[in-house]
Amino acid sequence: MEIIVTKNFAEMSRVTANLAIAQLHKKKSSVFGLATGNTPIGFYRNLVQAVKRKEISLARATTISLDEFARLDPAHRGSLFYYMRTHFFDKVDLLPKNIHMLDGCAVDLKKECKRYERLIKEKRGIDWQLLGIGANGHIAWAEPGTSFTSRTQVLDLTKSSRQAQLKNFKNLKEMPTQGMTMGIGTIMEAKQIVLLASGEGKAEIIARALRGKVTKEVPASVLQRHPRLIVVLDQPAASKL
């Protein structure tokens, strides 16, 4: 495990973008696993700027996103596809055929999850996986108690996960109660994992995840077992390590 502590959110975002750029220089056809949420926004902003300055091209890269709401129109501003389009996809030179998201409106959601697993295998796995961490230690939407061998699945969203996305919906009634997410087993097969955390509110869970016991009650703790894990934190998030 490599832990990089940065001064603030802006530096954390730049450092993480540079890690992705280094991966792209090493392999132009890299498969990137991508996360949503507040923490990666600066990361995406930095990558967009690098593309606009023509320092990099994503034309040969592939993206596979972590999760999506079930039964939500992808055009809805609360969908994770909308998030990715707004912050990244529409601003870079990724080819549409190389952008992959879970289809939350598929007729059979379980079959869609199996399709996603097949897709990842067809791409020979994820080269570089970006992750955030929830206040309860969840990664993607794999909540406490999730099996470390879990695969891409449909699941009921917890209240905390729904509250975290509430700003993009009128109210909780409008928000789907289910989501689709890569499983922990799927995530752990990525060749490289980069975990981001920012702010004092994440300090306690970061300490538990990285220095505590590996337990299903803190899903992110399993990352201690990954052979190529890089953790990028700002100083507040690292304050209890």
Structural domain of 159: 7-60+70-122+150-178+225-233
- In this predicted structure, what is the pLDDT of residue 36? 96
Confidence (pTM): 0.96
- In this predicted structure, what is the pLDDT of residue 111? 98
Structural domain contains residue 97: yes
pLDDT at residue 165 greater than cutoff 90: no
Please state the rounded mean pLDDT for residues 74-96: 97
pLDDT in tens, 170-216: 898 889 999 999 999 999 999 999 999 999 999 999 999 999 999 99
pLDDT in tens, 96-152: 999 999 999 999 999 999 999 999 999 999 999 999 999 999 999 999 999 999 999
Structural domain contains residue 24: yes
Question: Amino acid identity of 105?
Answer: C
pLDDT at residue 221 greater than cutoff 90: yes
Query: What is the CATH number for 32?
Result: 3.40.50.1360
Report how many domains make up the chain: 1
Structural domain contains residue 25: yes
* 113 contacts 67 by C-beta, under 8 angstroms: no
Please state the rounded mean pLDDT for residues 30-34: 98
Structural domain contains residue 76: yes
Angle 41-52/9-26 helices, nearest 10 degrees?
A: 50
- In this predicted structure, what is the pLDDT of residue 239? 98
pLDDT in tens, 41-71: 999 999 999 999 999 999 999 999 999 999 9
* Residues whose CB falls within 8 Å of the CB of residue 85, separated by 6 or more in sequence, listed in order: none
| Secondary structure of residue 80 in the 3-state scheme | helix
| Secondary structure of residue 175 in the 3-state scheme | coil
Question: Amino acid identity of 91?
Answer: K
Catalytic residues: 67, 136, 138, 143
Structural domain contains residue 157: yes
Structural domain contains residue 142: no
Structural domain contains residue 201: no
Structural domain contains residue 31: yes
* 73 contacts 40 by C-beta, under 8 angstroms: no
* Residues whose CB falls within 8 Å of the CB of residue 170, separated by 6 or more in sequence, listed in order: none
